[in-house]
Amino acid sequence: MLTCEVVGQGPAILFVHGFPLDRWMWHPQVAALDGYRRIAPDLPGLGESPAGGPGTMAFYASELGRCLDHLGVGSVVLCGLSMGGYVAFECLRQWPERVAGLALMDTRADPDTEEGRQGRDRLIAEVRARGAAAAADAMMPRLVGATTSASRPAWLSELRQRIERTPTAGLVAALEAMKGRPDSRPLLGTISVPTLVLVGAEDVITPPSLAEAMARGIPGASLVVVPGSGHLPTLEQPEAVTEALRSLLRRVV
């Protein structure tokens, strides 16, 4: 069973974290969104959740479904950032009836290119050889925006330390899952729940142009571009993300 932080009462929000982090990346939103049941799990093998099972988006989504079953939760507003967005698409495939609203943050619907898959394989080899430090070396230069890099050097050290505590097996499984994820672009036009597409204005991993195209493909989706943020707006500009989620929640509940 996944390790999961559950806070508050009310309509449920499920937060799905990105790579190479864990549920900590949502802590400002979990703390701020009073009046809702905030559910923030660690994906298998990451954070405090035990490893086990294949490195696939399908496995991650099925484990999240089991987590909701265990908590007795019927429907959720599903929030996924980066890899968490890839997992959210798989949740839409497996249990669409449970998704009452959707937030896709700093993510993309298209699969890895051949070049991208080769890059995943190289990083898998490096992580197996050197552990989480290899993931930190690869991700830190691109993970946050220029504004954050310039203004919060001490926090960058904390972020790196968080990444370096991530279990090697969980990182490898996550890289395999991202490498093998399916094309989610055909899903976009079928999404019928209130949807927020959010991206950091300074994100170089999944830039605003990708978010704009994704939002255009989802009927009625709203687009929010967060100034002064890179790939981790939940931590770089948490108040802006929380306010965007409040706007989405008002559309759902």
Specify the CATH number for the domain of residue 92.
Answer: 3.40.50.1820
Domain containing 243 equals: 4-252
β-bridge partners, 200: 226
Instruction: Inform me whether the pLDDT recorded for 253 exceeds 90.
Output: no
Q: At what angle do helices 168-179 and 114-130 cross, to 10 degrees?
A: 170
> Given CA atoms 119, 122, 128, 130 in this order, what sign does their dihedral have?
negative
Cβ atoms of 164 and 171 closer than 8 Å: no
Whole-number Å distance between alpha carbons of 2 and 41 = 6
> Percent of the chain beyond pLDDT 70?
100
Predicted pLDDT at 1: 87
Percent of the chain topping pLDDT 90: 98
For residues 202 and 107, the answer to whether their CB atoms sit within 8 Å is: no
Residue 134: per-residue pLDDT: 98
pTM over the 0.85 mark? yes
Give the Å distances, CA to CA, from 120 to 19, 86, 95, 116: 12, 15, 28, 6
How many domains in the chain? 1
- Tell me the mean pLDDT in the region 186-212: 98
CA separation for the pair 197, 105 (Å, rounded)? 6
pLDDT at 52: 86
